[in-house]
Amino acid sequence: MALVAAPFFAILFAIIQLGYRFFVAEALDTAVAEASRAIMTGQVQSNGAITTAEQFRDQVLCNTTNRLLPDFMDCSKLVVDVRQLSAFGDASFSTSATDLLTGAATTYSPGAKGSIIVARAAYPLPAVAPSLTGGGASMIGGELQYALLGVFVFRNEPF
């Protein structure tokens, strides 16, 4: 039993950790897609109170009455970047999720009707025993964390 228990519990812990990481990544993707619909339909552009990425995060993604992110995710750690593209093929970025979380410049440009937009949100998830789950963690803010990224690319509707 002693020989089998340690590897069994290590594998069990790794499965739980990976499952949680995939759950948070999916929640982030879903929240970015839902928030992007507000840009796509022109709701954000018609709201003069949303002019920065932080305001978009606080009023759309993390609104207290209609929060798109799960409650266990800390909205103050979420970094949002909304950019206008000239074509769908231009959607390549030199900034990764880790770069966004460590202070890379973000923009907020929701565009006008017919504009091509890419909305990205990065979230640092604390890494617990990353060696059991295959690594992938980075040093962010002095802590070992997984840099999760939610992305949604779309064309604004003719609002």
The pTM assigned to this predicted structure is: 0.89
38-39-45-47 Cα dihedral, nearest 10 degrees:
20
CA dist., res. 149 & res. 29, Å (int): 8
Domain interval for residue 36? 2-155
Task: Read off the amino acid at residue 109.
Answer: S
Q: How many domains does the chain have?
A: 1
How confident is the model at residue 121, as a pLDDT?
96
How confident is the model at residue 135, as a pLDDT?
80
Q: What angle do CA 45, 49, 53 make, to 5 degrees?
A: 75
Each residue's pLDDT tens digit, 70-115: 999 999 999 999 999 999 888 777 788 999 999 888 999 999 999 9
Each residue's pLDDT tens digit, 36-82: 999 999 999 998 889 999 999 999 999 989 999 999 999 999 999 99
